[in-house]
Amino acid sequence: PRPILLTRHGESRDNVRGRIGGDSVISDTGELYARKLANFVEKRLKNEKAASIWTSTLQRTILTASPIAGFPKIQWRALDEINAGVCDGMTYEEINKNMPDEYESRKKDKLRYRYPRGESYLDVIQRLEPVIIELERQRAPVVVISHQAVLRALYAYFADRPLKEIPHIEMPLHTIIEIQMGVTGVQEKRYKLM
Ligand code: G3H
């Protein structure tokens, strides 16, 4: 059976500052993860000639993929992080202070809440459909380097988790989730690289 490896990008400069969205580069810690990830992937997929690396179109995932050698890399806009609309680039504290109503509505229903001029989790789940179809079609392993909200949705699909849980699934940085689809169902392994 072929594995699907899911991981968030290495820590970004905006992660360090607590800012959501944006298109920042990765921090030194993020770069260290990128090198560890490359090492892991090159060993784990050594004999997998047809494997591929999928990223979003945002710098932090492309930079995280960059040390990985020997596999084609494909960028998907559908793998970009949830669009926080008018809140893009803000910290949760700033949103709470400047737009308390928005902050409260999101807290009440994180799955359905749509950022003004941005997206909801339901929107993200919907735009991931072509990615999921293509993942299902692949015969070779795929490494997906994406973002917290997107990976919650992808993971929930493969792990068969209910819709309402999706926005709350734990998706730590610097950890690889390996999904194996076999005849007996889905198996999962986690590798915490740092
Ligand atoms: O920048 C967006 C975050 O990765 C999404 O996290 O949906 O828990 O606010 P959240």
Q: What is the CA(17)–ligand 1 centre distance, in A?
A: 14
Q: Are strands 185-192 and 175-182 parallel, antiparallel or unpaired?
A: antiparallel
Mean pLDDT throughout 68-83?
98
pLDDT, tens digit (0-9, with 9 covering 90-100), for 146-169: 999 999 999 999 999 999 999 999
How far is residue 107 from each of residues 23, 96, 167, measured CA to CA in Å? 25, 10, 10
How far apart are alpha carbons 21 and 60 in whole angstroms? Answer: 11
Residue-averaged pLDDT of the chain: 97
Q: Who contacts 175 (Cβ-Cβ below 8 Å, separation ≥6)?
A: 7, 8, 190, 191, 192, 193
pLDDT, tens digit (0-9, with 9 covering 90-100), for 83-103: 999 999 999 999 999 999 999
The CA-to-CA distance between both ends of the chain, in Å, stands at 27
Pocket of ligand 1 contains residue 20 by CB under 6 Å: yes
Tokens of 167: 């926005």
pLDDT of residue 59: 98
pTM here?
0.97
Which protein residue's CA is at the shortest distance from atom 7 of ligand 1? 149
Mean pLDDT throughout 106-123?
98
Sign of the alpha-carbon dihedral angle for 23, 109, 156, 17: positive
Q: What is the CA(149)–ligand 1 centre distance, in A?
A: 6
Pocket test for ligand 1, best of 17, 103, 148 (most atoms within 8 A of CB): 148
Atom of ligand 1 nearest to the CA of 21: 1
For residue 9, indicate whether it is catalytic: yes
For residue 112, indicate whether it is catalytic: no
Q: What is the CA(84)–ligand 1 centre distance, in A?
A: 9
Instruction: Kindly provide the ipTM of the predicted complex, given to two decimals.
Output: 0.92
pLDDT tier at 185, thresholds 50, 70, 90: confident
How far apart are alpha carbons 140 and 109 in whole angstroms? Answer: 37
Pocket of ligand 1 contains residue 148 by CB under 6 Å: yes
pLDDT tier at 17, thresholds 50, 70, 90: very high
Percent of the chain with pLDDT over 70: 99
pLDDT of residue 181: 84
Q: What is the CA(129)–ligand 1 centre distance, in A?
A: 20
For residue 47, indicate whether it is catalytic: no
Closest by alpha carbon to 188, among 152, 148, 155, 141? 155
Mean pLDDT throughout 23-52?
97
